[in-house]
Amino acid sequence: MTTDPASPASSAAFDVRPLPAFRDNYIWLLSRDGCAAVVDPGDAAPVEAALAEAGLCLVAILVTHHHADHQGGVERLVAAHGATVFGPAAESITGLSRPLRGGERIEVDGLGAAFDVLSVPGHTRGHLAYLAGRRLFCGDTLFGAGCGRLFEGTPAQMAASLGVLAGLPDDTEVYCAHEYTEMNLRFAAAVEPHNPAVRQRIADAAAIRARGEPTLPSTIGLEKATNPFLRCAEPAVIAAARQRDPSAAGAVGVFAAIRGWRNEF
């Protein structure tokens, strides 16, 4: 990953808002001075509505991975707007014009922003995350208090990918692609019943959802305090994992045991 200390401040200047899609997806709409980009447009309709309402011109589409709820709207949006499509080279992405592998820094000119591209395999084998300053767009890798299912990758890959994200500054904002926070917190409380930060977040998330608002963005600091998948080195999480699977050993073994437990929760 390229690091340029000058760019985080300048790349934070765009606005971000969620466009709810399907049951619980968020398509993130990034905009600045009449230009827009979207992250993971699984459906074109909410994007078209938001562009029309705000009078925005779509210049770029950032795709984190190939699942239909993340790229299903790409074809229609490209046909209508001719936007540049960034996405994983290792996956089948409709209309992909800028194939990426991770480690690149991309410029989205209309937004005046640069994004570092992070390779975060696990949910899928080519999954990418996009980091602009202190804003992380992480698709289905990291969720509020949870992480994506391992459809294509190994526990070791996902644990390493989550480790990369956990290494970002605590005040990094985390823009996940699904509203799964409350369900994930119920699981987090089962893993760590005595973690006060989990208890507090359950109350906070309930209040936020009662107002009809997204629990996102989260922050890396909040995830490190409440997300069991970022807490696999904590004695309480290790103990819970071993209760589930007595053979769970090492960081990856603990992660795999917790992930397997979550699948059946």
- Given the residues 40, 43, 66, 69, select the one marked as catalytic: 69
As measured in angstroms, the least distance from the Cβ of 12 to Fe ion is: 26
Which of the choices Fe ion, Zn ion, none does residue 43 contact, using the CB cut-off of 5 to 8 A by kind?
none
Burial 19-46 (b: 16+ CB within 10 A, else e): bebeeebbbbbbbbeebbbbbbbbbbeb
Q: Are 7 and 133 in contact (CB under 8 A)?
A: yes
Structure tokens at 156: 């070791």
Of 24-32, 34-42, 82-90, 135-143: span binding Zn ion (CB under 5 A): 135-143
- Asked if residue 127 binds Zn ion (CB under 5 A), the reply is no
Q: Which residues, other chains included, contact 206 with Cβ-Cβ below 8 Å and sequence gap of 6+? A: 182
As measured in angstroms, the least distance from the Cβ of 115 to Fe ion is: 20
Residue 127 is among the residues annotated as catalytic for this protein: no
Q: Are 120 and 141 in contact (CB under 8 A)?
A: yes
Q: Which of 13, 11, 26 is nearest to 144 (CA)?
A: 26
Residue 67 is among the residues annotated as catalytic for this protein: yes
Distance CA 75, CA 248 (A): 44
- Asked if residue 134 binds Zn ion (CB under 5 A), the reply is no
Q: Which of 74, 105, 100 is nearest to 87 (CA)?
A: 100
Q: Which residues, other chains included, contact 49 with Cβ-Cβ below 8 Å and sequence gap of 6+? A: none
Residue 81 is among the residues annotated as catalytic for this protein: no
As measured in angstroms, the least distance from the Cβ of 64 to Zn ion is: 8
Which stretches of the chain bind Fe ion, using CB under 5 A?
69, 140
Kindly identify the residues of this chain, within the stretch 171-210, that bind Zn ion according to CB under 5 A. none
Binding mask 56-85 for Zn ion (x = CB under 5 A): -----------x------------------
- Given the residues 66, 70, 81, 127, select the one marked as catalytic: 70
Kindly identify the residues of this chain, within the stretch 23-52, that bind Zn ion according to CB under 5 A. none
- Sign of the torsion angle spanned by Cα atoms 160, 184, 144, 54: positive
DSSP 178: B
Nearer to Zn ion, 14 or 229 (CB): 229
Nearer to Fe ion, 180 or 255 (CB): 180
For strand 105-108 and strand 113-119, is the pairing parallel, antiparallel, or unpaired? antiparallel
As measured in angstroms, the least distance from the Cβ of 259 to Zn ion is: 15
- Asked if residue 140 binds Zn ion (CB under 5 A), the reply is yes
Residue 123 is among the residues annotated as catalytic for this protein: yes
Residue 40 is among the residues annotated as catalytic for this protein: no
Nearer to Fe ion, 131 or 177 (CB): 177
Q: Are 117 and 136 in contact (CB under 8 A)?
A: no
Distance CA 158, CA 91 (A): 17
Nearer to Zn ion, 74 or 198 (CB): 74
Nearer to Fe ion, 66 or 231 (CB): 66
Nearer to Zn ion, 122 or 253 (CB): 122
Hey, which residues are catalytic here?
65, 67, 69-70, 123, 140, 178
Residues that bind Zn ion (CB under 5 A): 67, 140
